Chain A
Amino acid sequence: MSGSRIQTIFYSAAALISLVGLAEATYLTVIFLSGETAVCGGSPDCFRVLGSSYAKIGKIPVSSLGALAYFSAFSFATFAGFGYARAQKFFTWTVTAMFCMTLWLLFVQAFRLHAFCRYCLFSAALVFLLTGLVVARPVAETQKT
């Protein structure tokens, strides 16, 4: 398989994962802005997290920042998949920032709120997948040579 083909597959996977994250973060943002309450499926912890002061920064919901981050990751992955070299760097930086933010949010849930929210855990899993792809990328690029 050619190097550019591996890159295309790699960035397509990253773009797809980012799209899933974008959909989830958009849902949570709309829920927040419309004054509706998320469907937590009978999980009290979910309410504890989504109803906590950590769920927003000032009046801005954290999920809207997540939507922005996922959209950025999607855009950079798409451009990188089409061979834009600079987009690869931006993609790596974006995913690194998302990874750090995810670690902070997991810390908050584990040690401050003592509760985990299923939406947040799902998002964390997506970010870990993206991070895994970023870490695995040099291997893929080495293989092509």
Chain B
Amino acid sequence: MRRFLPFIIVIVVALLAVGGGAYFYLAKRSANAPPKFAKTEGEVAGESVHVLGPANAAVTLEEFGDFQCPPCGKLSEPINHLQKQYNLRVIYREFPLPMHAHAKDAAFAAEAAGRQGRFWQMHDLLYREQAVWSNSTDARALFNAYAGMLQLDLDRFRKDMDSTDVQQQVELDQHRGAAIGVKNTPTIFLNNEALPPNQLNPDGLPAVVEAAMKKAKPSS
């Protein structure tokens, strides 16, 4: 028996490493996978926007966000959770505020990642790491590092960040926001109704979304 013991130990560890790695990989993949009906890029009234969730969802949540705004960062994870829980349609629009030094660059970074199909991943990463790059003297270097982590084509990412196309996309979102009265971030519309500021927090938002779901589907 002792003769076979090292073989058994090595095989068990190999199986544990491969099996554990595969389990962890599948768990991460399913957590990151967009919902069944998700579109990372879509069209709303002829505009190109970032959309998650089905077009016929009972509730549409439209957010005007600034990646450097702390309350937006606090809402990012709850919105992701609500999107999955209620199969919401979530639309994200850029609204970088001038008082935030790196907000515009962050918006460009998210849009540039979107050009390679990874807008939402960059969106989540920018919010998760908000405290880090917000205080950095060279936020762009960090955005490049994030792009590297997301395995984007870095040359293309850098070019896209500086492209007029991406900058115009951000301006379009800002114009749209300004046209419907958006002044601060986060501003969130649920089925085209603006939510009051006191509900824009991780405790208030789920209750409002639940109420909107009940209103949209009174029988269920």
Contact residues of A with B, CB < 8 Å?
A: 19, 22, 26-27, 29-38, 40, 42-44, 47-48, 50-53, 55, 67, 71, 74-75, 78-79, 81-82, 84
Contacts and interface: CB of A to CB of B under 8 A. Distances in A.
Contacts of B118: 35
Interface of B: 2, 5-6, 9-10, 13-14, 17, 20-21, 24-25, 28-29, 31-32, 118, 121, 125, 128-129, 131-133, 136, 141-142, 144-151, 154
Contacts of B132: 42-44
B6 A51 contact: no
Contacts of B121: 35, 37
A79 B6 CA distance: 6
Nearest to B139: A44
A81 B6 contact: yes
A48 B10 contact: no
A37 B13 contact: no
Contacts of B25: 30, 33-34
A54 B121 CA distance: 22
B10 A75 contact: yes
Contacts of B128: 37
A19 B2 CA distance: 21
A4 B118 CA distance: 56
Given A44-B132, A47-B145, A82-B5, A34 B32 contact: yes
Nearest to A46: B145
Nearest to B118: A35
A105 to B, nearest CB: 16
29 contacts: A27-B24, A29-B21, A30-B21, A32-B151, A33-B25, A34-B32, A35-B32, A35-B150, A37-B128, A37-B150, A40-B129, A44-B133, A44-B136, A44-B145, A47-B146, A47-B148, A47-B149, A51-B148, A53-B148, A53-B154, A71-B14, A74-B10, A74-B13, A75-B10, A75-B13, A78-B9, A78-B10, A82-B5, A84-B6
A42 B149 contact: no
A52 B32 contact: no
Contacts of B149: 37-38, 47, 50-51
Contacts of A78: 6, 9-10
